A and B are shown apart, each in its own frame.
Chain A
Amino acid sequence: MVGTPYPKKPMHRIAYAQLTKEQIAAKLHPVAERGPTSASTFATDFAGESLRIVTDDGPELTYKFASSTRLSVAENGGKATHAGFGALETDNICLFSHMIPGTQRGYTVVVDRRSKLATVIEVWFSGYEDNREVQRQIYFGHVDSGGDVPKKRHDYTDRLEGRGYHWRQDTGMETLEYYPSAGYSHFVELSRTGGELGFSAPSDYVLLDNDFCLYTRTECEFSGTFTAYVIDMNRTQQMGVRLGFDDGDDLHYYLFRGHGDIVGQIAHFEKFGDDSGNPIPGPNGKDGKPVKGGRRVYRPIKTMEKLSREQVAQIVKQHSTAFPPSTTTGGAAGMGSVNALPASDFLAGKAFTLRYDHGPAMEYKVDSADELNWRTDGEGAWTKARYQAYEVAPGLLLFGHLLEGAPNHDGHIIAADFHQGLVTCYNGFLNTSYFANEAGARTLFGVLEMDGIQPPMYRRHARTTEMLGRCITYSYAPGLTSMHLYSTPNTVSWIIFTPDGHGGMEWSGPGDFVKIRDGIYFMNWREEACNGTLGTVLLNLNIMHDAGIGYHCGARGGLNMSRIGAVVRHAGKFEVDRYFQIRT
């Protein structure tokens, strides 16, 4: 029987084993002796060659290549060590990689034979509290062949920022890779995981020359696997290395070639002329110098507050808040609401029913601009609730309220179209499988029944892929802008910017996308294993503004429903629809 392409658990749900140094050493030793494997043929013209590489603030490496798979390396004039290696070449660029037997370190070296410039990536295990996470340090330098020392160097760049590729490796691995940041990247494994979700990872981008770039990523917070490859930007080809332990703790160390397609190029937001890279440099040590291998990594799985069902129940009982009063009067409850649309009194005085297919019939009697009464399925007593509504387009309202007394502390966030009699609800709830304070969401479609409104019988709002591949910037307040990348039909990724406009840190979660009207989309994202928030936006591309509501539970703020909103820009669209078609 042919299996489905989907994994049992997405990456952010896998409890990767905490490997000990000894476990890593045991698995690494034979691999370091042997060198990387490759489905493509290794370059053979290294055999018999010698190479001395001098880096600016790093090691001097003296290589002797005995064959196309064996070398010796001396670091800083020290004793030579023999190791297995592999090399790949494209035009004047060659990449070779080896570990150093007896250690948990190794090097991947990229040399430009024409310019004599070199970039050296030192990699090692057991350098972080999670030993399996590969650490890296990049050094720039040159090949010392006895002549003049070249003045130029390879350097970090933002020139790849905004690019997206579809890659197909010689291993059969097929990915979509987005570079919406100059310090992070986002990847979708189409072949290995069915492309359901995309994930984000810290990355380096190095400009080798106008034709070639070097890219790296480390799958921090996940398996810790390191990938680096040279991109031939004209031919849309890649050659690189992958090193790390998979979810079964098997060690992978191989070189690969791949070919691909450019799936798009979105805008980026540095000042014209600013091609600088490495926008979020690592921390400095006590001596004021950068820490070797140091990098700033967003680690939400590690830092997320994790609560039990009992703790959540207690917190909700003690502190549940929907739309603090200041937001109703237009004040700023938080940075996320400075640019929000004003609250609307459109619903005040109205009585209506939202009848969801395969869901409840929610009856409403709205007292005022911030207070409503609800009951379910025409039964029981009315419950008073605080709410807030925003008229995103004429007759189209986003509103939300908590459902006090619901066993899973539900909240309803609703896009209600009073011109069409249609409604979609993101029903947020807690007590989910992994962490009780992590929000889940059901998507409910239905109709709006009210005196004077005849809803349709068959028509409904519907899920859409029209947002797939789009990048939208959301400016919530001065200095607080993020960009959404809708990387798969089920993923929302978000990127924040540095003060000078570089794309910075990035993370992602599962999402949902519903078309409400032409140019108006109701979307959600769940910050799974990352704060646990359910974020929703009703985005109106006709006015380039959204209204949004967040639903979150935490020990400090309790159960909370709050307003978010932003002025938006369309940064561009990656054409990736064809990679998500299900074909027979």
Chain B
Amino acid sequence: MTKDKIDTRRSFLRGGALLAAPIAAAAVPVTALADDELKTRVKRLEDEAAIRELHRSWLRQVNAGERGALLQEAVRAINADHAGAPDKIEFGADGRTARGHFDCAVELDIPLATECTLAQMAHAQGHGSIRRTERRVLRVDYENAGGIWKIAGVALRTL
């Protein structure tokens, strides 16, 4: 039984399934991998895992209402669009910048301008905004400073 487990883990690594293994890949000691190409790949996977964790953490903040200055005020929540394209993270040539593309469903809460009587009444009854969900592409720029990935910019684009 023990042998089977070890074999399974090795075949998993050899088969390139690391792409699907997020942060666990960081536990693999890089020094054990002699091949430069493999080192690069592992580094990339570590970076990608770090970016994904950063993205998840940021989404939690957004959905908890801690939007900060990175998003327009109208955004109330961002959820994965499971019917959309797979998430994509592209790295810059120097490996210190990256850009993520995430199809998502964005909950918007757009204040009604008080330009007309109806909008004024809506504000008066506490419903002065229109809430709706739209499919968007979230484009996030990342940069690595001192080995730590940070968000450099966020943009929401219509599909």
Contact = CB atoms under 8 A, between A and B. Distances in A.
Interface stretch (B11-19, B50-58, B118-126, B143-151): B118-126
B118 A476 contact: yes
A174 interface: no
B136 to A, nearest CB: 16
B132 A479 contact: yes
A531 B116 CA distance: 8
Nearest to A564: B116
Q: Which secondary structure dominates chain A's binding surface? A: loop
Best-surrounded residue of B120, B125, B126, B131 (most CB of chain A within 10 A)? B125
A482 B127 CA distance: 13
Given A498-B125, A499-B127, A505-B125, A533 B132 contact: no
Best-surrounded residue of A298, A299, A531 (most CB of chain B within 10 A)? A298
Contacts of B116: 334-336, 531, 533, 550
Contact of B124 (A494, A499, A505, A531): A505
Contacts of B122: 480, 496, 504-505
B125 A334 contact: no
A11 to B, nearest CB: 18
Contacts of B31: none
A492 to B, nearest CB: 12
A183 B130 CA distance: 20
A485 B69 CA distance: 44
A280 interface: yes
Contacts of B130: 477-480
A438 to B, nearest CB: 13
B89 interface: no
A527 interface: yes
A504 B127 contact: yes
A27 B119 CA distance: 40
A439 to B, nearest CB: 12
A336 B117 CA distance: 10
A95 B122 CA distance: 35
Contacts of A530: 117
Nearest to B124: A298
Interface residues of B, number: 17
A507 B126 contact: no
A531 B119 contact: no
B131 A496 contact: no
Q: Which secondary structure dominates chain B's binding surface? A: mixed
A127 interface: no
Interface string A292-305: 00001111100100
Contacts of B126: 280, 283, 296
Contact of A482 (B112, B115, B118, B132): B118
Best-surrounded residue of B117, B122, B125 (most CB of chain A within 10 A)? B117
A531 B132 contact: no
B117 A335 contact: no
Contacts of A280: 125-126
B20 interface: no
A480 B114 CA distance: 12
Given A280-B125, A479-B130, A499-B131, A533 B117 contact: yes
A528 to B, nearest CB: 12
Interface string A274-313: 0000001001000000000000111110010000000000
A334 B118 CA distance: 12
A325 interface: no
A369 B132 CA distance: 34
Nearest to A506: B121
Contacts of B127: 498-499, 504
A480 B125 contact: no
Contact of A298 (B112, B113, B121, B132): B121
B125 to A, nearest CB: 4
B119 A505 contact: no
A494 B116 CA distance: 13
A296 B127 CA distance: 11
B134 to A, nearest CB: 10
A479 B116 CA distance: 14
Contact of B117 (A300, A334, A478): A300
B115 A557 contact: yes
Interface string A501-531: 0001101000000000000000000010011
Contacts of B115: 334-336, 557
Contacts of B117: 300, 494, 507, 527, 530-531, 533
A480 B121 contact: no
B132 A496 contact: no
Interface of B: 112-113, 115-122, 124-127, 130-132
Given A480-B112, A550-B116, 9 more contacts: A280-B125, A298-B121, A298-B125, A335-B115, A335-B116, A494-B118, A496-B118, A505-B121, A527-B117
7 contacts: A479-B131, A482-B118, A494-B117, A496-B118, A505-B124, A531-B117, A557-B115
Interface of A: 183, 280, 283, 296-300, 303, 334-336, 476-480, 482, 494, 496, 498-499, 504-505, 507, 527, 530-531, 533, 550, 557
The 3 closest A-B pairs by CB, nearest first: A479-B130, A280-B125, A505-B121
